[in-house]
């Protein structure tokens, strides 16, 4: 089986195979290449409907010549010191490819991966242009896409001169919820089509089954995965309060944990609504709106609490 990069001639065979309606496996068999090679090649160059052999070949040549991660005159990424720049650059490209195969536009995937691999989690448009060697318009389009998906935020830089684009520590959580909502939209749309066509028709039954699949998938994600994440977050908040040893407001928790206010609020709500999850402790609130950790009242009898109170007042441990 031949290795190395695809040749121009092989890319033309891929284009011809796609035009003939051949599957990736059959095209790969004819080229004596792994199916994954053909799949990646088509995915990163316009998909099965937009693949053009000449364009794909020239684009691959440009990517091969593109400096990885940093370019002359552009400062190295914070946190990049001591790392193998070539290895890190290769990771950025491979990770972006994986995101692209999952449906994320190629440039949006590269921008997101760049943000993930700097310690600050944020870069300016100029820094992204320098790292990825693309036009400012490409960066702007990718940022707009990621903002719409709720993955990237805009921050005004020092003195308000330059905007920085960054990710929150909980961006993956919001991306998960966005995916669950997308599945719900698919379910609603398919169900609407089934009602129009009639569940007794083959097309209507097909759409009804599709709607049922996406409905179950959405429910599994929101009721299972999201619930697990919320429970884990609730326990993390309790651990933070125990470690702090003093009541903290939601804003101070957000700053200390590096979480968004919404994520902290959801974790506090989970802890309050499901005390069995946090047993044997539970949340308590002060008059100033701060939260603290207290023992669940049903875990100790009145006599036990009084005895422990006496030990505390005497400083006995």
Q: What is the pLDDT of residue 16?
A: 92
Question: CA triplet 249, 253, 257: central angle to 5 degrees?
Answer: 175
Say what angle helices 106-116 and 125-132 make with each other, to 10 degrees. Answer: 110
**Each residue of 253-283: b (16+ CB within 10 Å) or e?**
bbeebebbeebbebbbebbeeeeeebeebbb
The structural domains of the chain, ordered by start, are 1-65 (no CATH), 72-167 (1.10.10.10), 173-298 (1.10.10.10)
Q: What is the pLDDT of residue 3?
A: 52
- DSSP letters along 33-58, please? --HHHHHHHHHTTTHHHH--HHHHHH
Q: Which helix (H) or strand (E) holds 282?
A: strand 281-285
CA distances from 124 to 164, 172, 305 (A): 4, 21, 56
Q: List, as own/partner pairs, every contact residues 254-263 make where C-beta atoms lie below 8 angstroms and the sequence separation is at least 24, other chains included.
A: 257/169, 258/168, 258/169, 259/168, 259/169, 259/170, 259/233, 260/168, 260/170, 263/170, 263/173, 263/233
Give Rg (Cα) of the chain. 27
CB 291 within 8 A of CB 250: yes
Residues contacting residue 89 through CB under 8 Å, at least 6 positions apart: 67, 68, 69
Closest CA to 217 of 194, 193, 185: 185
Instruction: Give the dihedral of Cα atoms 233, 236, 242, 243; nearest 10 deg.
Output: -140
CA distances from 103 to 57, 72, 98, 296 (A): 22, 32, 9, 47
Q: Which helix (H) or strand (E) holds 112?
A: helix 106-116
In sequence order, the β-bridge partners of residue 123 are 165
Q: pLDDT below 50 — which residues of the chain?
A: 1-2, 67-82, 316-317
CA–CA separation, 40 vs 49, rounded Å? 14
Classify strands 163-166 and 281-285 as parallel, antiparallel or unpaired: unpaired
CA–CA separation, 118 vs 88, rounded Å? 11
Q: What is the pLDDT of residue 83?
A: 54
In sequence order, the β-bridge partners of residue 295 are 281
CA–CA separation, 279 vs 274, rounded Å? 9
Q: What is the pLDDT of residue 13?
A: 92
Sign of the CA dihedral 254, 259, 265, 271? Answer: negative
Closest CA to 44 of 36, 23, 67: 36
Alpha helices in 120-170 (DSSP H): 125-132, 136-148
């Amino acid at each position: 089986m031949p290795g190395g990069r695809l040749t121009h001639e092989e890319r033309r065979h891929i284009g011809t195979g796609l035009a003939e309606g051949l599957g990736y496996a059959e095209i790969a068999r004819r080229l004596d290449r792994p199916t994954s090679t053909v799949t990646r090649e088509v995915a990163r160059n316009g998909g099965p409907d937009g693949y053009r052999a000449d364009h794909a070949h020239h684009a691959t040549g440009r990517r091969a010549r593109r400096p990885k991660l940093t370019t002359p005159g552009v400062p190295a990424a914070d946190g990049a010191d001591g790392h193998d720049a070539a290895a890190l650059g290769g990771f950025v490209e491979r990770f972006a490819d994986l995101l692209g195969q999952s449906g994320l536009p190629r440039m949006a995937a590269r921008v997101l991966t760049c943000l993930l691999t700097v310690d600050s989690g944020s870069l300016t448009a100029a820094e992204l242009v320098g790292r990825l060697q693309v036009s400012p318009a490409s960066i702007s389009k990718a940022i707009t896409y990621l903002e719409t998906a709720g993955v990237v935020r805009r921050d005004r830089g020092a003195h308000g001169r330059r905007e920085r684009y960054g990710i929150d520590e909980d961006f993956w959580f919001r991306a998960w919820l966005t995916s669950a909502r997308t599945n719900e939209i698919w379910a609603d749309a398919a169900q609407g089509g089934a009602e129009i066509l009639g569940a007794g028709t083959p097309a209507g039954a097909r759409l009804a089954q599709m709607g049922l699949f996406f409905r179950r998938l959405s429910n599994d994600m929101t009721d299972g995965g999201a619930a697990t994440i919320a429970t884990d977050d609730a326990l993390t908040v309790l651990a933070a309060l125990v470690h702090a040893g003093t009541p903290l407001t939601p804003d101070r928790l957000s700053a200390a944990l590096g979480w968004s206010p919404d994520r902290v609020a959801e974790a506090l709500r989970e802890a309050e609504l499901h005390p069995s999850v946090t047993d044997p402790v539970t949340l308590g609130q002060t008059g100033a709106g701060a939260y603290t950790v207290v023992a669940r009242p049903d875990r100790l009898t009145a006599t036990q609490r009084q005895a422990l109170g006496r030990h505390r007042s005497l400083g006995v441990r």
